[in-house]
């Protein structure tokens, strides 16, 4: 499932966090969804990330989610736990809890809101990486955090023995290639429209929101590329583009669209937590129509 160059696998899902209709954590639903994702091609699951609504789940819920999913998938998929916050001390606490709960790695987002300078960002990641025995994946998503993990900072952090990977939502394709050319970090596309483009220049794989609903189809893009059929890989990526656009670039967070679509096809999801609001009926119907058209094509 994993190698030294792909420590968490290639096809990872940024899994939603299922809730009951009353808004409580739905661990049974999480286990059923995790089992489906694993059986349909995901070799890693990222829990409590952006798509997993980490800002509105408690520390106890995060730990319970890791433990429940670990029980469901065993060693068939890696589990990367989102532990990043704007507070270094709290992030360290979450890292230790995730390790105890059975995670294989840590997803650590840039410390948001306070806008620390790059030397402080670097120190933050080093302290978190030093705090547990788990490998760390840096999460660069400046559209949400307000700051970059600049490529030069990533290159310096790559020297740390437990900082092994990057999830890239920076939309900086040149910066990504700079890191790829100068480090041995496992590099993951964090935006579904970049899955194939980054893979083609040496990335390890992807961490996908859209794979919550079409895990097998997205993995097939990488499989085609690995088989040497780059034309087929491009065709499969292009065929997924309408669904990717509706889920990720139509004005709603991916969490909202993923949960709407999962609910529409009878899979565990439940509501989103405030301040997010559910997709309206027109949006949900449009998502379902795009999903049905995509999956009908094989």
Find the distance separating the first CA and the last CA of the chain, reported in whole Å. 25
Whether 256 and 249 have beta carbons less than 8 Å apart is answered as no
- pLDDT band for 250, please (50, 70, 90 cuts): confident
Confidence (pLDDT) at 188: 98
- Cis peptide bond prior to 243, omega within 30° of 0: no
Of 56, 19, 11, 17, nearest in space to 34 by CA: 17
How far apart, in Å, are the Cα atoms of 285 and each of 101, 116, 256? 38, 42, 13
Query: What positions carry a catalytic annotation?
Result: 139, 167
- HSE, side-chain direction, 13 A CA sphere, residue 3: 5
Using CA atoms, how far apart are residues 68 and 161, in angstroms rounded to an integer? 29
What integer best gives the mean pLDDT of the chain? 96
- pLDDT band for 297, please (50, 70, 90 cuts): confident
Residue 79, beta-bridge partner list: 45
Of 85, 15, 12, nearest in space to 51 by CA: 15
Whether 14 and 49 have beta carbons less than 8 Å apart is answered as yes
- pLDDT band for 1, please (50, 70, 90 cuts): very low
Please write the tens of the pLDDT for every residue from 14-31. 999 999 999 999 999 999
Residue 59, beta-bridge partner list: none
Output the domain CATH number for residue 196: 3.20.20.70
Decide if 276 is inside a domain. Answer: no
Please write the tens of the pLDDT for every residue from 199-218. 999 999 999 999 999 999 99
Decide if 108 is inside a domain. Answer: yes
Q: Is the pLDDT of residue 70 over 50?
A: yes
DSSP letter string, 184-244? --EEEE-SGGGHHHHHHTT--EEEESGGGT-HHHHHHHHHHHHTT-HHHHHHHHHHHHHHH
Q: 3-state DSSP call for residue 193?
A: helix
226-254 mean pLDDT: 96
Q: Is the pLDDT of residue 238 over 90?
A: yes
Percent of the chain surpassing pLDDT 70 = 98
Decide if 61 is inside a domain. Answer: yes
Please write the tens of the pLDDT for every residue from 161-192. 999 999 999 999 999 999 999 999 999 999 99
136-161 mean pLDDT: 97
- Residue linked to tokens 């620390």: 116
Q: Which residues contact 123 (CB under 8 A, 6 or more apart)?
A: none
Q: Structural domain tally of the chain?
A: 1
Decide if 267 is inside a domain. Answer: no
Percent of the chain surpassing pLDDT 90 = 97
Decide if 260 is inside a domain. Answer: no
- Residue linked to tokens 């859209």: 210
- pLDDT band for 253, please (50, 70, 90 cuts): very high
Domain extent, residue 27, equals 11-229
Say which range, 1-15, 39-53, 242-256, has the weakest mean pLDDT: 1-15
Decide if 254 is inside a domain. Answer: no
Q: Is the pLDDT of residue 125 over 60?
A: yes
pTM above 0.95, yes or no: yes
Q: Is the pLDDT of residue 3 over 90?
A: no
Whether 158 and 185 have beta carbons less than 8 Å apart is answered as yes
95-102 mean pLDDT: 98
Decide if 152 is inside a domain. Answer: yes
Decide if 268 is inside a domain. Answer: no
């Amino acid at each position: 499932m994993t190698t030294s160059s792909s420590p968490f696998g290639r096809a990872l899902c940024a899994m939603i966090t299922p809730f009951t209709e009353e808004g409580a954590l739905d661990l049974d639903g999480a286990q059923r969804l995790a089992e489906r994702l694993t059986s349909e091609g995901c070799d890693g699951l990222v829990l409590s990330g952006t798509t997993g609504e980490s800002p509105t789940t408690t520390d106890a819920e995060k730990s319970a989610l890791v433990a429940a999913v670990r029980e469901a998938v065993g060693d068939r998929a890696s589990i990367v736990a989102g532990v990043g916050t704007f507070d270094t001390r709290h992030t360290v606490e979450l890292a230790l809890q995730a390790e105890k709960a059975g995670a294989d790695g840590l997803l650590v987002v840039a410390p948001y809101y306070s806008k620390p300078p790059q030397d402080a960002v670097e120190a933050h990641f080093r302290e978190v990486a030093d705090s547990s025995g788990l490998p760390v994946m840096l999460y660069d998503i400046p559209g949400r955090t307000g700051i970059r993990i600049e490529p030069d900072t990533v290159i310096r952090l790559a020297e740390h023995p437990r900082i092994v990977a990057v999830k890239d939502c920076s939309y900086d394709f040149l910066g990504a290639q700079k890191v790829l050319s100068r480090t041995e970090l496992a590099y993951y596309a964090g935006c579904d429209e970049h899955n194939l483009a980054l893979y083609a220049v040496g990335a390890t794989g992807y961490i996908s929101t859209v794979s919550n609903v079409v895990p097998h189809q997205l993995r097939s893009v990488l499989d085609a590329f690995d088989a040497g059929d780059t034309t087929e890989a491009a065709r499969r990526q292009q065929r997924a583009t309408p669904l990717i656009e509706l889920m990720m670039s139509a004005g709603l967070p991916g969490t909202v669209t993923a949960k709407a679509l999962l609910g529409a096809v009878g899979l565990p999801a439940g509501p989103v937590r405030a301040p997010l609001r559910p997709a309206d009926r027109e949006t949900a119907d449009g998502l379902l129509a795009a999903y049905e058209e995509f999956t009908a094509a094989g």
